[in-house]
Amino acid sequence: MAYFRRTGPATFLATQHVGGAWDPRAQHVAPALGLLAHAVEVDRDRRRDDGLVLGRLAYDILGTVAVAEVEVAVDVVRAGRTIELVEATLTHGGRVVVRLRAWSLQPGDTRDVAATSLATIAPPDAHPAWDASTVWPGGFIGSVEVRRLETAPGRATSWVRSDVPLLADEPVSDLASAARLLDIANGLTVRADPARVAFPNVDLTAHLTRSPRGEWVGLDTSVTFGPGGLGVTSSVLHDVHGPVGTLAQLLTVRPTG
């Protein structure tokens, strides 16, 4: 079974594997982020064949959504021959719950100048298995394999993958498949017990230097709580070939008891 099943040209039914970590009755937003990335790529490929690649995925999470049918729409905000900005929305019951603004850029051969100071993390087989369900409930957490090296609360390197496809009976790119896992970063190395402090993220922004390849998504993650109710989870994104970009999530930090 997949995370979503297509029910129409723009509608998708969430399955049991989408159940959330903060509330299992609501969707974990991670698969929905992958669904929007997939919708952007499908829309792009319908309109043009010049190979633009996604370089930024900036999501705003506007609310929770039930494990139910959702609708997706994509609009071009800024058309261009070599650079394009599009907006995609995920709607439930007439209410937009996730909004994505994605930049697509013309690719080119820059191998002669390619370089980074981002450190490569150890491969998946050098990380011990970690059962995320010991901290988090929900169908999505139960669907993901996690390998993790935690050096302190709020600091860890991790690898995640899932054998649950984003969509049933529909091909999905490696990028959209990776995007369906990115939001797990905020729960991979908790700085405080989630039973005592809530810290959901209200957004997620990924900047990419290339598209990830393969089933594993690597995350070199640091979690920071500020003194005034705000926090940030920052990650360097990897595939098994090395760093592919960066990820940031803005947190609302709320002690619960």
Q: What is the DSSP letter of 79?
A: -
Residue 40: partners with Cβ closer than 8 Å, 6 or more residues away: 54, 74, 86, 88, 100, 102, 104
State how far Cα 140 lies from the chain centre. Answer: 12
Residue 213 is assigned to a structural domain of this protein: yes
Segments forming the whole domain that contains residue 49? 4-105+122-255
Residue 190 is assigned to a structural domain of this protein: yes
Residue 113 is assigned to a structural domain of this protein: no
Number of domains in the chain: 1
Q: What is the pLDDT of residues 134-180, one digit of tens each?
A: 999 999 999 999 999 999 999 999 999 999 999 999 999 999 999 99
Residue 116 is assigned to a structural domain of this protein: no
Q: What is the pLDDT of residues 76-85, one digit of tens each?
A: 999 999 999 9
This prediction's pTM: 0.97
Which pLDDT belongs to residue 131?
Answer: 98
d(CA 61, CA 252): 12
| CATH code of the domain in which 199 resides | 2.40.160.210
Average pLDDT rounded to a whole number, residues 101-120: 97
Residue 219 is assigned to a structural domain of this protein: yes
Residue 115 is assigned to a structural domain of this protein: no
